[in-house]
Amino acid sequence: MTISSPAATGYRQSAHAVPHRGWQTAGPARLAAENACARLAGCVRNLPGVLAGLSIGMVTWLGLVAQPIDRSATGGRIDQILSEVHAGAGIAPAALCSDDAFVRRIHLDLAGRIPTVEEVAAFRTLPDRAALIDRLLASPGFSSHFAATWTAWLIGYSNAYQVDRELFRRWLEQQIEQDQPFDSIATRLITASGSAAVEGPVNFLARHRNEPLIKVSRTFLGVRMDCARCHDHPFDRWTREDYGRMSLFFRGLEYRDANGIPSLGDRAIDPAAMNDGNRPRFLTGSEARTGRWRDELALYIVSCRPFARAFANRIWYQLMGRGVVEPPDDFSSANPPSVPELLDHLTDEAVAGGFQIRPLVRAICSSAAYHRSSVRPEGFGPEPFQRLFAVRMVKPLSTDQLIDSVSLATNTTLSMTHRRQMAYALAGGSPDDDFGETWQYSDTVQQLMRKLAIPVAAVEGPAESLYLRILSRDATPRELELVRGRTPSEIVNALIHGSEFCFSH
């Protein structure tokens, strides 16, 4: 690979050959190539899928756009499945995204923030996408971001019921940092006991003390048992008896108030002393056999196929912006996967990988599906492109991503208190919901910061540098023309509130 200096060539990079690893992009006419690709895809939209697939191949052959060089069989299989699905549907997927779009996207997904100017520059110098994925996966930012995201998913944003949200987040971060597999994490969450101030995972059930089964089944099985609380599920097979029998696994769970702090423990009940038909029963039909019901429930959950499906789908959803089953906590006969083969494959990979998080994330991020542009071929609506992952979903930044990105863009260090207040404000009226719930613009970010008395360092510099700093790309001549005469503060304000900043695309 020959890399020319951007300054010397006027282009980001040039690549003459596909080396042994990594994403290679052809710089000379990258954007033009994307457009060409999109146009080409548009032209072939009525042709069979073979021809649609050819458009990408041709462009790659021409060395015009990035092409994923996937080191894992998984990434390859994902693309193979989707390629067949796209061909069957007679659609050509969107072109692959530009390097600038990729570097922003991957930082948001794996580090939870926009890239720094230096990181953008480094990637422009050496645009090895696979290497960047690996670097981010190994960085502390990955554990930190996934912990923040999952904390929002698992216990929301509030400290309701005296839970220790920060202890929980740190515990999760530690688990991810130590490469603990997800089945182990799930087991700890379901079986935790002790004080919420001492044992991080206790805070999960302490937070959901009123309806532990609802949250556990949604989170770890992707199944909504809510309806079956009161009546047989109208669109699924779950009955009130299913709900009642599975709820029994939590019957011995005691929430104690230890000097104002919640504490979890169990009152052991011998299932042998219970009549047949009254013992706790899992959705697979498995029944409790010992006095440790939560332990058994956890074992039944992490050993069943729906757990693997829900985990694989959750990771896919988090990275792609849409689950193969969407929403990701609603697996049901009425809501089948959009690409069943893909879900099967991801599930198999999750099981084969022992529920390790990083390998699955790496596999998904290495697939062409992940690298697709968010721009659909001209003339097409969102369907079936989004459902079949032929185009990148445009995702609003999660509350944590937004806070961290604003913080980075404005050179602001937020205290934990400010961070919590800001998350609460941005999460609007639903601070207890998971990260699928997005923030609302009741205030501008600046108004919010002023309201919270957050000191913001002045960001100075020419407009070009501000675009790079905030949007991770160069300003276009038209944009430079538009902002001429504006102060840096005005430009920062405008960019941070633009949809380009507030979305991952």
Partner 1 sequence: MDQISGRQRAVSRWPESPAQILLWVALAAAGANGLPRTAIAQDGMQPGGETAGAADLDSRIVAFIRDLAPAGAGDELYGRFLQAAGRRSGRIAIAGHLALLEEEMRQAAAAAALPEFLDGLFEKQGDQYLLRAGQAEFGKKLVEEIGRFEEDIGKVAGELKRVSEKLQGDGETEKLFRRAIDSDLTPALLYSRQMRETMYPGVDVIQRRLADAFAADREGKIFVREQAREAVARLVGQLQMAARMMPVMQREFDALHQEMHAADPLHAELKERMASGRSAAWLSFELASTGQADASGLINRYFESLEGLLEDTGEGLVILESARERVQQSMARSGDIGTRMKVLDQPLREFAGRIDEKRGPLEAEIKQLLQTPVGLVAMATRIDVGTMDASRYVRSLVEQVMDVDDAGKMTVRADRVEAVRNYARELLRNVRQMRRQLDSSSAVVDALADPELQTAVSSLAGRVIVAEKIRQRVAARQYDPLAAFAGEHFDRSESGLVPRPSAMAILSQIVDQAAKIEGELGNDDF
Question: Which residues are near partner 1 by CB under 8 A?
Answer: 159, 162, 164-167, 170, 188, 191-195, 197-199, 202, 253-261, 263, 265-268, 270, 282-287, 289-292, 294-296, 299-300, 303-306, 415-417
**Phi, psi (degrees; rounded to nearest 5) at 109:** -80, -35
Whose Cβ is closer to partner 1: residue 1's or residue 304's? 304
466: which residues sit within 8 A by CB, 6+ positions away?
Answer: 459, 488, 491, 492, 495
Whose Cβ is closer to partner 1: residue 26's or residue 283's? 283
**Phi, psi (degrees; rounded to nearest 5) at 260:** 90, 0
Whose Cβ is closer to partner 1: residue 11's or residue 255's? 255
Report in angstroms how near the CB of residue 196 gets to partner 1 at its nearest: 8
Whose Cβ is closer to partner 1: residue 11's or residue 161's? 161
Report in angstroms how near the CB of residue 192 gets to partner 1 at its nearest: 6
Report in angstroms how near the CB of residue 258 gets to partner 1 at its nearest: 3
CA 421 – CA 403 distance, rounded (Å): 11
Identify whether the C-beta of residue 417 lies closer than 8 Å to the C-beta of residue 377: no
Identify whether the C-beta of residue 400 lies closer than 8 Å to the C-beta of residue 112: yes
Report in angstroms how near the CB of residue 81 gets to partner 1 at its nearest: 21
CA 93 – CA 392 distance, rounded (Å): 9
308: which residues sit within 8 A by CB, 6+ positions away?
Answer: 347, 350, 351, 355
Whose Cβ is closer to partner 1: residue 94's or residue 155's? 155
Report in angstroms how near the CB of residue 252 gets to partner 1 at its nearest: 8
Tell me the residue type at 414: L
Coil, strand or helix: which one is 305?
helix
Taken as a whole, the chain contains a residue count of 505
Task: Return the closest-CA partner of residue 412 out of 113, 105, 109.
Answer: 113
CA 22 – CA 128 distance, rounded (Å): 5
Whose Cβ is closer to partner 1: residue 287's or residue 329's? 287
CA 367 – CA 76 distance, rounded (Å): 7
382: which residues sit within 8 A by CB, 6+ positions away?
Answer: 376, 391
Whose Cβ is closer to partner 1: residue 12's or residue 420's? 420
Coil, strand or helix: which one is 349?
helix
Helical (H) or strand (E) element with 194: strand 194-195
Report in angstroms how near the CB of residue 195 gets to partner 1 at its nearest: 4
Identify whether the C-beta of residue 268 lies closer than 8 Å to the C-beta of residue 223: no
Identify whether the C-beta of residue 278 lies closer than 8 Å to the C-beta of residue 264: no
CA 10 – CA 29 distance, rounded (Å): 11
Report in angstroms how near the CB of residue 292 gets to partner 1 at its nearest: 4
Report in angstroms how near the CB of residue 194 gets to partner 1 at its nearest: 4
Whose Cβ is closer to partner 1: residue 159's or residue 430's? 159
Report in angstroms how near the CB of residue 113 gets to partner 1 at its nearest: 20
E strands in 196-327 = 253-258, 261-266
Report in angstroms how near the CB of residue 434 gets to partner 1 at its nearest: 19
- Retrieve residue 321's tokens: 């912006």
Whose Cβ is closer to partner 1: residue 289's or residue 451's? 289
Whose Cβ is closer to partner 1: residue 171's or residue 370's? 171
Residue 118, Cβ density class (10 Å: 0-12 exposed, 13-18 middle, ≥19 buried) = exposed
- Retrieve residue 187's tokens: 């087991």
Report in angstroms how near the CB of residue 143 gets to partner 1 at its nearest: 16
Report in angstroms how near the CB of residue 324 gets to partner 1 at its nearest: 17
Whose Cβ is closer to partner 1: residue 42's or residue 291's? 291
Whose Cβ is closer to partner 1: residue 207's or residue 371's? 207
Identify whether the C-beta of residue 366 lies closer than 8 Å to the C-beta of residue 70: yes
Q: How far is CA 131 from CA 24, 96, 319, in A?
A: 11, 18, 18
